[in-house]
């Protein structure tokens, strides 16, 4: 599961990191990206790797309404090749969704409110989430095309297991070219890339429950907190 993440690096920084062309559409930095927000994604379009803006929540080409995407922010790696909503994009329209980190919520015994945690790389480098993208034009094909994306998830590694049983697929740099190549439709081989990241790739720490509100977007959301003090304020 990945329902909130951080995208605060500048588009130029992201483009350089992924060796991609910078985007035309610029998004505001956000420490609390939520479903249906616009997000950056890296894709290979016509032999050129570029960074672009997409709606987060995949809208299949057959959807009658773009609101369908709110239910498709994540796609399970184990079923990509079997589900009609994802299989076409899995074969031809794969992307990388850059993130500075993401959030997950942990159940606390005796407490109603879960404790949010921020998950990130220890050295602060971006995470490369495996993603799929699609173009939706509506039933009448008359409106402006909507480009949307979803984050692929897999089982949790040891670092994530205390928080959740799922996590985003985080692709190593060695897999980027293969994953992004639109001419590569070998879904069996591509599926082998969709595995949990090494446990040492990420670290976690508790953060304020202020992240629970999508209205809060500031950098203070990723600051570490004392979970006992935090839960005490909510009791």
pLDDT digits (tens, 9 = 90+) for 189-214: 999 999 999 999 999 999 999 999 99
DSSP per-residue string spanning 53-73: EEEES---TT-SSGGGGGG-S
* pLDDT, position 231: 60
**For residue range 155-187, what is the model confidence (pLDDT) as tens digits?**
999 999 999 999 999 999 999 999 999 999 999
**For residue range 1-24, what is the model confidence (pLDDT) as tens digits?**
799 999 999 999 999 999 999 998
- Say yes or no to pLDDT of 148 above 60: yes
Q: Where are the alpha helices (DSSP H) in the chain?
A: 11-17, 87-92, 173-180, 187-191, 227-234
Q: Are 73 and 102 in contact (CB under 8 A)?
A: no
Composition of the chain by helix, strand, coil, percent to 5? 25, 30, 45
**For residue range 84-117, what is the model confidence (pLDDT) as tens digits?**
999 999 999 999 999 999 999 999 888 888 999 9
Q: Are 87 and 80 in contact (CB under 8 A)?
A: yes
Q: Would you place residue 47 in the very low, low, confident or very high pLDDT band (cuts 50, 70, 90)?
A: confident
- Say yes or no to pLDDT of 25 above 60: yes
Q: Would you place residue 229 in the very low, low, confident or very high pLDDT band (cuts 50, 70, 90)?
A: low
Q: Would you place residue 49 in the very low, low, confident or very high pLDDT band (cuts 50, 70, 90)?
A: very high
- Superfamily holding 5-234: SOS response associated peptidase-like (3.90.1680.10)
* pLDDT, position 234: 55
> How many CB atoms neighbour CB 139 within 10 A?
11
Biggest CA-to-CA distance, the chain: 55
95 a catalytic residue? no
Q: Are 90 and 80 in contact (CB under 8 A)?
A: yes
* pLDDT, position 129: 98
- Say yes or no to pLDDT of 233 above 70: no
Q: Which of 2, 134, 149, 230 is catalytic?
A: 2
104 a catalytic residue? yes
Q: Which of 28, 78, 104, 200 is catalytic?
A: 104
């Amino acid at each position: 599961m990945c329902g909130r993440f951080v995208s605060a690096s500048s588009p130029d920084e992201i483009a350089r990191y992924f060796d991609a062309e910078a985007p035309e559409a610029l998004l505001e930095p956000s420490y609390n990206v939520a479903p249906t927000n616009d997000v950056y994604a890296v894709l290979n379009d016509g032999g050129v790797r570029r960074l672009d803006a997409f709606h987060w929540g995949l809208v299949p080409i057959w959807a009658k309404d773009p609101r369908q995407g709110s239910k498709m922010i994540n796609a399970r790696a184990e079923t990509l090749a079997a589900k009609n909503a994802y299989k076409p994009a899995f074969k031809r329209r794969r992307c990388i969704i850059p993130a500075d980190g993401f959030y997950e919520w942990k159940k606390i015994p005796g407490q109603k409110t879960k404790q949010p945690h921020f998950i990130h790389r220890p050295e602060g480098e971006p995470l490369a989430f495996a993603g799929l993208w699609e173009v939706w034009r509506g039933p009448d094909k008359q409106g402006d095309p909507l480009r949307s994306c979803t984050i692929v998830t897999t089982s949790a590694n040891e670092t994530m297991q205390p928080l959740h049983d799922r996590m985003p697929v985080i692709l190593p740099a060695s897999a980027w070219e293969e994953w992004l190549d639109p001419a590569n439709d070998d879904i069996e081989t591509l599926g082998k890339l969709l595995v949990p990241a090494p446990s040492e790739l990420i670290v976690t720490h508790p953060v304020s429950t202020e992240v629970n509100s999508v209205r809060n977007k500031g950098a203070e959301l990723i600051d570490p907190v004392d979970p006992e003090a935090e839960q005490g304020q909510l009791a």
